[in-house]
Structure 1
Amino acid sequence: MKNFSTVVTRAAAAALVACATAGAALASSTAPAGCTFRPNAPDQHVVVKGDTLWDISGHFLQNPWCWPQVWGMNREEIRNPHWIYPGQVIYFDRTRGRLSLSPPGGDGRGEPPVTRLSPQLRTESLERDAIQAIPAGAIEPYLTQPLVVEASELANAPRIVASQEGRVYLGQGDKVYVKGALHGGSSFQVFRPGTVLKDPQTGKAMAHEAAYLGTVTLVSEARPGVDAHTFRVTDTVQEMGVGDLLVPAPPAPVRNYMPHAPAQAVDARVMSIYAGVSYAGQSQVVTVNRGSLDGLDVGSVLQLYHLGKTVPDPASKGFFGVGKSQIKLPDEQYGSLFIFRVFKNVSYGLIMQVTEPVQVGDVAKSPE
């Protein structure tokens, strides 16, 4: 654990201001299209512990996910940490249509007043002190465990074929034997396929939800003439046994969640609601039937819509409604979805804000 003084904190804040100023110099004097400020936006906001960048931006912007744009940040800068700390002040520069850590009218490069920062020695990392982009605690359980396994992975996944001394259920330290290609991997998560996830538009099976069972570590690969690799169980959260499947342990999860519109137009549907319930609300997790192959990445923001109904045209002729021409009503936007984990054809999203419940089949598409 390293010690960091408030001098370092101020330096990080100053670097952020300089970054925002450089981007703003190339931007127009108003907010980008679709990133309008609220009519009653305040002149400033004092950051407090528990704030998120999404919440703070919601005080100023109609669409909170637009904050990187109104800071004048480009796509590469969005990939880097956006460090803001309790005690700092976010200012609304109405003339330039930008948010800033410096009061309007200055050169944009000044540091926040020393009195706004705690004078004592910090004993935690700067990143831990910084406020979060989104309520990360809501998605932490979904970042390190296999949530879905796509059809191609399921067909080729290594599987447990035997256990030491023929044990039916396995525990920590037990030896197991695995058949299948490891592709150079040595650490694997064990799962059991669950509910089939079907595309609401086509009915095609897209993936399986995965019941996470634990982890295993390679002891030795199969030698010539031997069909199975030797593994040892390193951790269990549920009983695992012969027939259960392996997936490589994922890399460290990305926790730098900077929102942005997808790089290409995305028209997705809500495919499932985690835990199998019928409706979902704010801070709950859903899957959509689009992934990295469709242009989604971590941080993509989609707008949620209820599909517009088709109703009979009251002006057309017909007998008790039969034979009348039909009118398609527009889709109704009611919220936003933040994509935080992406597979090839499927993604998981956190519901950020909604005015109505989310249902399977709802539209999730690129912001307009």
Structure 2
Amino acid sequence: MKLKLITSFLLGAALSITAFADVLTLKKDHPETYTVVKGDTLWDISAHFLNTPWLWPRLWQANSQIENPHLIYPGDVLTLIWVDGEPQLTRKQLKKMSPTPRLEEKGTPIPTIPLASISAFLSKDHVIDPELLKDAPRLLGDAISTPRFFEGDVFYGQGKFNKRKIYGIYRLSDDYLDPVTEEFLGSELTFIGHSQVSKNPNVSATDQVTPHDFLKSSREARQGDLILPIPEHESLPAYFLPQPVPVTTTGQIIAALNNAVAIGKWDIVVINRGKRENIRIGSMFSIMQSGPEIFAGEDKVEYREDANRFDQMATPDLTIPAERVGELMVFKVYDKVSIAMVMRSTDIMGAKYKIQGLEF
């Protein structure tokens, strides 16, 4: 009898959790006007008006006054209007009276998302197969066996280097494995800093080693670090257009990249889906929190998150449906993994949360 009651409860819960219809709905407390301030993003502005800020492009769609939403600047006043039943934002031009005309610097247009949060991951940090780095030159040290190096130091690199090029110092870090299949997905290649062939007259090169000036560092370099050319071809857009992903595309967060133990809004994560799953820059995913498993006995019902602790209960009777607790957007794509930013979270999260494609 109790099991029937639980089944009825779960069926009702499942029916109440319908697919997210991402219509352009306004927040109940939305403003009628908004003045853009320094540090705003298109996502932030849309979040003032919409329950679904990833639909921000539709706020500016077919709007003759804002032909390019990327060219919105601090100080601009945005006004909410309605066009064919759809809410849209229009920009009110502010005119200042002055006895003499003068040109004012508009400054930098606002980006889609906070670029400062992802700048370190745009063109420096990478995910790579370590086999490709077997013969890569390494940092050897200096004449007095210094183990660590900082900005302004001189160190020797293995082999010959181009005097006109800037090089990156990198370190192989964590390996990424698929949590389900245990497939090797790649290794994190962490950026340490920049170097170039030294101009110090007191050091000289040989056929085996070349002195380098450590130009700029984000952290200390060590003996054994890799010295690689900075990829000249790699450039990513400053603006990221959200892209829908089929809900049938599922995966998992496998790591947090900015040393976050508890993951929240604007944190950077790695997911186990990439180019081979047709993931693109801007791809949107829902972040899902798995529901607990339910073990129904004759006399009682037990909710357990870890079935392995109960050998006598090999399989659960029922599972509560997963709950959507946030969204993330991909901004860098590799073959088997992608790097994404958490755009919204209803609570503090950890790695290993499941993800599901977000259609809109």
TM value normalised by structure 2 = 0.70
Query: Percent identity at matched positions?
Result: 22
Instruction: Supply the RMSD in Å over aligned alpha carbons.
Output: 4.1
My pick for the range that moved more, 37-46 or 194-203, is: 37-46
2:271 corresponding residue in structure 1: 288
Q: Does 2:89 match 1:61?
A: no
Residue number in structure 2 paired with 1:132: 111
Q: Which residue of 2 aligns with 1:142?
A: 121
Relative distance call for 1:114 and 1:39 in structure 2 (3 A) is closer
Q: CA deviation at 1:205?
A: 3.5
Correspondence list, 1:344-363, <5 A: 344-363=335-354
Post-superposition offset of 1:334? 0.7
User: Residue type matched to 2:186 in 1?
Assistant: A
Written as runs of structure 1 = structure 2, the 5 A alignment for 1:1-368 is: 34-38=22-26, 40=28, 42=30, 44-50=32-38, 51-72=40-61, 82-85=70-73, 86-93=75-82, 95-101=84-90, 112-115=92-95, 121-123=103-105, 125=107, 128=108, 130-146=109-125, 148-152=126-130, 155-156=133-134, 158-160=136-138, 162=140, 165=143, 168-169=146-147, 172=152, 174=154, 176-178=156-158, 186-217=165-196, 233-250=214-231, 251-262=234-245, 266-313=249-296, 322=313, 326-368=317-359
What is the rounded CA distance, in whole Å, between the counterparts of 2:315 and 2:128 in structure 1? 43
Distance in 2 (alpha carbons) for counterparts of 1:324 and 1:352: 35
Offset, 1:362: 0.6
Deviation by residue 1:279-336 (Cα, 9 ceiling, x = unmatched): 2122222221222333233322211111233222468999998588621321110111
Q: Deviations over 1:131-183 (max 9, x none)?
A: 3322333333433432x432256544612264665754556473634359x9x
Within 2, Cα distance between the matches of 1:99 and 1:280?
A: 32
Asked if structure 2 preserves the Cα contact closer than 8 Å seen for 1:42 and 1:92, the reply is no
Q: What one-letter code is carried by the residue in structure 1 that aligns with 2:24?
A: T
**Residues in 1 aligned to 2:96 and 2:248: alpha-carbon distance in whole angstroms:** 42
Aligned-partner residue type, residue 294 of structure 1? E
Shift of the alpha carbon at 1:246?
3.1
SS in 1 for 2:138: strand
| Contact persistence 2:43–2:53 (CA under 8 A) | yes
Report the secondary structure of 2:239's partner residue: coil
Give the Cα–Cα distance (whole angstroms) in 2 for the partners of residues 240 and 282 of structure 1: 30
Deviation per CA, 1:58-98: give whole Å up to 9, x if none. Answer: 2332210111134337xxxx9x7622233322323164314
TM-score, normalised via structure 1 length: 0.68
2: CA distance, partners of 1:200 / 1:49: 42
Which amino acid counterpart does residue 59 of structure 1 have in structure 2?
H
Partner of 1:358, secondary structure, is coil
Deviates more, 1:171-180 or 1:332-341: 171-180
Q: Check whether the contact 2:130–2:187 (CA below 8 A) recurs between aligned residues.
A: no
Shift of 1:231: 5.8
Q: Which SS does the other structure have where 1:203 is aligned? A: coil
Structure 1: distance between partners of 2:37 and 2:315: 58
| CA deviation after TM superposition for structure 1 residue 278, in Å | 3.6
The structure with the greater share of residues assigned to helix is: 1
CA distance in 1, matches of 2:143, 2:42: 54
Structure 1's unaligned 5+ residue stretches are 1-31, 103-111, 220-225
Q: Which runs of 5+ in 2 are unaligned?
A: 1-19, 199-206, 303-309
Cα distance in 2 for partners of 1:227, 1:188 equals 17
